[in-house]
């Protein structure tokens, strides 16, 4: 790992992303109930802070759908938010969301809350990923949005980052760069993988 420079890491990640996308697509095809199973497993295993601001993401393609989780969080009195992109190289911001809210097209197939929604900082972030390992690192899409966001938030507050994924997205070791932020916990349809005492 230490012998690799940033360019080598980026190239390796690009190769790994192709393989990871194939594995996720297969899991999506084979496990239509995974989102509900993950939701039940999470609430059976993890106690989130009461009334916490909790972020998830609008699902794209064959990503594991976080909407059952978001709906349950709202029903349990948590404050769900969805990410809003401000542009390349910038951290995400988060705006309030509730079931039934109209969303705006944000490009690339994703959707986000209207500009007039309240901006809130999450205490818990449910993070999308292409692959993960048991050291708590994730392979993302290459934009660095969540790494920048977690770095910014962790500089001045305690936040918990929980990766949500199909079990099939696990790999032995994710290639990591100097700016990659670790997860506190990973939840799949099969298990909860605890990586720190924060989750």
The SS3 of residue 159 is coil
CB atoms within 10 A of CB 168: 19
Q: What CATH number labels 6-194?
A: 3.40.50.10420
Domain borders along the chain are: 6-194
Task: Note the pTM of the prediction, 2 decimals.
Answer: 0.89
Q: Which residues of 83-122 are buried (b: 16+ CB within 10 A; e: fewer)?
A: bbbeeeeebbebbebeeeeeeeeeeeebebbeeebeebeb
Averages of pLDDT over runs of 10 residues in the chain (199 residues) are 66 86 93 92 90 91 90 94 90 93 81 91 95 93 89 95 95 87 95 71
List of residues 6+ apart from 55 with CB closer than 8 A: 80, 81, 82, 83, 94, 122, 124, 125, 126
* Rounded CA separation 64/35 (Å): 6
């Amino acid at each position: 790992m230490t012998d690799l420079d940033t360019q080598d890491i980026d190239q390796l990640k690009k190769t790994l992303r192709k393989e990871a996308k194939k594995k996720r697509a297969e899991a999506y095809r084979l496990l239509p109930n995974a989102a509900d199973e993950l939701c039940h497993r999470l609430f059976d295993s993890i106690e989130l802070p009461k009334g916490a601001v909790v972020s998830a993401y609008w699902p794209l393609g064959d990503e594991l759908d976080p909407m059952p989780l978001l709906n349950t969080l709202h029903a349990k009195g948590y404050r769900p938010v969805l990410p809003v992109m401000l542009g390349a190289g910038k951290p995400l911001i988060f705006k309030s969301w509730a079931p039934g809210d109209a969303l705006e097209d944000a490009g690339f197939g994703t959707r986000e809350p209207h500009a007039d929604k309240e901006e809130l900082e999450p205490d818990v972030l449910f993070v999308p990923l292409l692959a993960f390992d048991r050291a708590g690192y994730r392979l993302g899409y290459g934009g660095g949005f969540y790494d920048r966001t977690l770095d910014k938030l962790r500089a001045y507050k305690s936040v918990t980052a929980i990766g949500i994924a199909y079990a099939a997205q696990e790999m032995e070791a994710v290639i990591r760069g100097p700016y990659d932020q670790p997860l506190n916990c990973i939840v799949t349809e099969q298990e909860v993988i605890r990586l720190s005492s924060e989750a």
